[in-house]
């Protein structure tokens, strides 16, 4: 498809003798289409050309010959506003819709490897709504990178190692026969975890016993390893129920424990740099000179390792195994300091600069209860499986009220309920905290997942009522040059660019916002235009635009992890 930004940049470059690629990056899309389809801000050139922006705008305009695909150029202050020929734009979009089954798919990432570390629940703890954000943000990024041609590796870096397992092992030793772990593993293990934490608060000797258990686990003690393996196996079985509901898949399930035999290499490398020093019995890397006041602990006083050690071992392994161009870590902003430390220490591992530059923490805000932060220790968590089941039940109830004769109600309720939960999580900037509230997360009005699904279903209903899809060569393009049709055309044209913006900013909400905008544009088009019943040429054109809208909505939603029902 023709790149209109690139075409405009070439013309401006020719008029100014400046670099076209740089100029292309300056071009904006005006919020109001009255100000053109594209705008070039001439103030960006004021310093270089030593002239006022309106003067620059006039000079450039005079040098540009108006020809297809540009319809006209207007000056507004220091902006050059470019208007694209509507019929040319419409023809380009519909031709691509017809030719490309996976519209917006590209190969811009060909030859590049992206590692995405996401979800990563803790073994033997409830899979609660706090894990939802990492899971759905990571999955959306995974899908979009893959769609743009990148070789994408999704890793579920399970929290299956650490002091908490020393605590669980100690609790199991003391009270294991009081709990039916086989029948209800996560809930029973959670009860043990809460109980042992209380005991640790009251008696430091118990806390020390827990720490010793983890050291024994690291050293391969048969009893500790056996219990740990049991906890891991039972937990994964429970987690899979949630992943099945969300449609989540991973290329690797290598958690923290996978790196247990790979950490000594990290310690040896750091030791050889002379930067690993002893402090109060522990081994640390001092990062004061790098502007980080908190040191990175590599080995605890009892010789056991830390999250940082394991993450450093993972960086080494992933660089060697996947030759990554980017390694994204999708975790909460609570871990910003941790990753600053780890990425800084990673510079000492002797890796190629490419791997260090590729490290990126994709942080997100917390999911909070109205009463505050969730804590497994305190036992106040909202379990994700229960939330998803509740969402499906509520969706089914709405369907019963509004369309009780609908076929496959269970399947539609699953798509609508889970779609509502996923979209709610991806609707806003990932860095914002989210207060979890049933009324908000399952609100089926307004800018929600169900609204997008309903719009898609409406496109399907129009096509079903029409009973045919006209061939593209029969479409009279001039029938789609009105404002409502053009608003849709422009949005469909910008779909691939929207996906690229997501990967530039690691921000799935850009796609969520796009889908809302496209749904609103179609609703306006639907309300203002008679699609079926007009003259045949107008009807054919509007039917094809309806089909095109539905196609893009379905693809976009799927990239976010949301499935579309055909009827609601």
The domain that holds 8 is classified in CATH as: 3.30.1360.70
Q: Could you tell me if residue 99 is inside a domain?
A: no
Which residues are within 8 A (CB) of 91 and not within 5 positions of it... i.e. 6 or more apart?
477
Q: Please check the confidence at residue 443 and state whether its pLDDT lies above 80.
A: no
Residue 372 is classified by DSSP as B
Percent of the chain exceeding pLDDT 90 equals: 81
The position carrying tokens 């990571």 is 138
Catalytic residue from among 11, 128, 283, 479: 128
Answer yes or no: do 338 and 416 share one domain.
Answer: no
Q: In the annotation, is 357 catalytic?
A: no
Q: Please check the confidence at residue 229 and state whether its pLDDT lies above 70.
A: yes
Q: Could you tell me if residue 23 is inside a domain?
A: yes
Catalogue the E-assigned strands of 186-305: 276-279, 282-285, 296-299
Return the percent helix, strand and coil in the chain, to nearest 5.
Answer: 60, 10, 30
Q: For residue 520, what are the domain limits? A: 384-560
* Boundary (domain end) residue, out of 368, 392, 407: 368
Q: Could you tell me if residue 92 is inside a domain?
A: no
User: What one-character-per-residue DSSP string does 41-71 give?
Assistant: EGGGGHHHHTS-HHHHHHHHHHH----TTEE
CA-CA distance, 555 to 439, in Å (whole number)? 28
Catalytic residue from among 91, 131, 326, 490: 131
* Boundary (domain end) residue, out of 318, 342, 368: 368
Answer yes or no: do 359 and 427 share one domain.
Answer: no
Q: Could you tell me if residue 257 is inside a domain?
A: yes
Q: In the annotation, is 157 catalytic?
A: no
Q: CATH number, domain at 489? A: 1.10.730.10
Q: Please check the confidence at residue 430 and state whether its pLDDT lies above 70.
A: yes
Average pLDDT over residues 232-259: 93
CA-CA distance, 109 to 112, in Å (whole number)? 6
Q: Could you tell me if residue 113 is inside a domain?
A: no
Helix axes 449-466, 536-560, angle to 10 degrees: 150
For 122, 166, 196, 206, 391, the CA distances from 175, given in Å and listed in that order, are 21, 14, 10, 14, 36
Answer yes or no: do 361 and 479 share one domain.
Answer: no
Q: For the chain, how many structural domains are there in total?
A: 3
The position carrying tokens 């040429």 is 537
Which residues are within 8 A (CB) of 287 and not within 5 positions of it... i.e. 6 or more apart?
293, 294, 295, 296, 341, 344, 345
Closest CA to 6 of 14, 174, 280: 14
Q: CATH number, domain at 229? A: 3.40.50.620
Average pLDDT over residues 484-509: 97
Q: Could you tell me if residue 432 is inside a domain?
A: yes
pLDDT band, residue 534 (cuts 50/70/90): confident
Span 515-533, pLDDT tens digits? 999 999 999 999 999 999 8
CA-CA distance, 258 to 261, in Å (whole number)? 7
CA-CA distance, 256 to 269, in Å (whole number)? 19
pLDDT band, residue 442 (cuts 50/70/90): low
Answer yes or no: do 30 and 131 share one domain.
Answer: no
H or E element, residue 158? none
CA-CA distance, 224 to 299, in Å (whole number)? 20
First to last CA, the chain: 34
Q: Could you tell me if residue 224 is inside a domain?
A: yes
Q: Could you tell me if residue 137 is inside a domain?
A: yes
Answer yes or no: do 397 and 270 share one domain.
Answer: no
Q: What is the pLDDT at residue 162?
A: 79
Which residues are within 8 A (CB) of 387 and not within 5 positions of it... i.e. 6 or more apart?
129, 132, 421, 441
Q: What is the pLDDT at residue 67?
A: 87
* Boundary (domain end) residue, out of 368, 401, 432: 368
Answer yes or no: do 309 and 221 share one domain.
Answer: yes
The pTM score is 0.92
CA 495, chain centre distance (Å): 16
Span 165-212, pLDDT tens digits? 999 999 999 999 999 998 888 889 989 999 999 999 999 999 999 999
Contact 562, 423 (CB under 8 A): yes
Q: Six-digit token pair at 305? A: 């390792």
Answer yes or no: do 187 and 251 share one domain.
Answer: yes
CA 175, chain centre distance (Å): 41
Catalogue the E-assigned strands of 342-499: 359-364, 367-368, 434-435
Q: In the annotation, is 125 catalytic?
A: yes
Q: Please check the confidence at residue 408 and state whether its pLDDT lies above 70.
A: yes
Q: What is the pLDDT at residue 161?
A: 86
Answer yes or no: do 163 and 14 share one domain.
Answer: no
Catalytic residue from among 91, 125, 479, 554: 125
Span 361-406, pLDDT tens digits? 999 998 776 766 655 555 556 788 888 998 999 999 988 988 888 9
Answer yes or no: do 460 and 328 share one domain.
Answer: no
Answer yes or no: do 482 and 349 share one domain.
Answer: no
Q: Please check the confidence at residue 22 and state whether its pLDDT lies above 90.
A: yes
């Amino acid at each position: 498809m023709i790149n209109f930004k690139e075409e405009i940049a070439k013309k401006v470059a020719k008029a100014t003798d400046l670099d076209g690629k740089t100029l292309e990056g300056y071009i904006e899309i005006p919020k109001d289409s009255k100000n053109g389809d594209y705008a070039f801000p001439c103030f960006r050139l004021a310093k270089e050309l030593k002239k006022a922006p309106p003067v620059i705008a006039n000079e450039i305009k005079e040098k540009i010959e108006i020809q297809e695909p540009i319809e006209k150029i207007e000056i507004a202050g220091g902006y050059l506003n470019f208007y694209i020929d509507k019929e040319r734009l419409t023809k380009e979009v519909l031709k691509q819709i017809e030719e490309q089954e996976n519209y917006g798919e590209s190969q811009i990432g060909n030859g590049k490897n992206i590692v995405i570390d996401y979800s990563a629940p803790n073994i033997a703890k409830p899979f609660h709504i706090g894990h939802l954000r990492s899971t759905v943000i990571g999955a959306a990024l995974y899908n979009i990178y893959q769609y743009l041609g990148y070789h994408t590796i999704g890793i579920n870096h399970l929290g299956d190692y650490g002091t908490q397992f020393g605590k669980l092992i100690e609790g199991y030793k003391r009270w294991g026969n009081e709990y039916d772990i086989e029948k209800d593993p996560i809930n029973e293990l959670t009860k043990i975890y809460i109980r042992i934490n209380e005991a640790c608060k009251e008696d430091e000797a118990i806390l020390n016993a827990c720490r010793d258990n983890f050291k024994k686990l690291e050293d391969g003690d048969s009893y500790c390893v056996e219990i740990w393996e049991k906890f891991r196996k039972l937990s994964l079985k429970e987690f899979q129920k949630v992943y099945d509901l969300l449609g989540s898949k991973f290329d690797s399930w290598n958690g923290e424990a996978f790196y247990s035999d790979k950490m000594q290499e990290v310690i040896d490398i750091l030791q050889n740099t002379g930067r690993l020093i002893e402090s109060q019995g522990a081994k640390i890397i001092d990062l004061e000179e790098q502007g980080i006041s908190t040191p990175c602990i590599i080995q605890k006083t009892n010789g056991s390792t830390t999250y940082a050690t394991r993450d450093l071992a993972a960086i080494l392994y992933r660089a060697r195994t996947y030759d990554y161009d980017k390694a994204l870590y999708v975790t909460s902003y609570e871990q910003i300091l941790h990753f600053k430390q780890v990425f800084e220490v990673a510079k000492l591992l002797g890796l190629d600069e490419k791997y260090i530059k590729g490290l990126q923490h994709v942080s997100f805000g917390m999911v909070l209860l109205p009463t505050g932060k969730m804590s497994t220790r305190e036992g106040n968590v909202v379990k994700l499986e229960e939330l998803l089941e509740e969402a499906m039940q509520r969706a089914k109830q709405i369907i019963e009220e509004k369309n009780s004769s609908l076929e496959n109600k269970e399947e539609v309720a699953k798509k609508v309920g889970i779609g509502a939960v996923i979209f709610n999580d991806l609707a806003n900037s990932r860095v914002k905290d989210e207060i979890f509230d049933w009324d908000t997360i399952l609100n089926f009005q307004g800018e929600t997942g169900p609204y997008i699904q309903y719009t898609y279903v409406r496109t399907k209903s129009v096509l079903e009522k029409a009973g045919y899809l006209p061939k593209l060569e029969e479409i009279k393009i001039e029938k789609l040059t009105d404002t409502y049709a053009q608003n849709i055309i422009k949005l469909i044209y910008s779909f691939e660019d929207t996906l690229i913006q997501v990967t530039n900013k690691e921000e799935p909400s850009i796609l969520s916002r796009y889908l809302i905008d496209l749904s609103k544009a179609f609703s306006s088009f639907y309300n203002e235009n008679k699609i079926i019943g007009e003259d045949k040429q107008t009807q054919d054109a509007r039917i094809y635009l309806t089909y095109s809208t539905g196609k893009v909505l379905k693809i976009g939603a799927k990239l976010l992890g949301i499935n579309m029902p055909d009827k609601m």
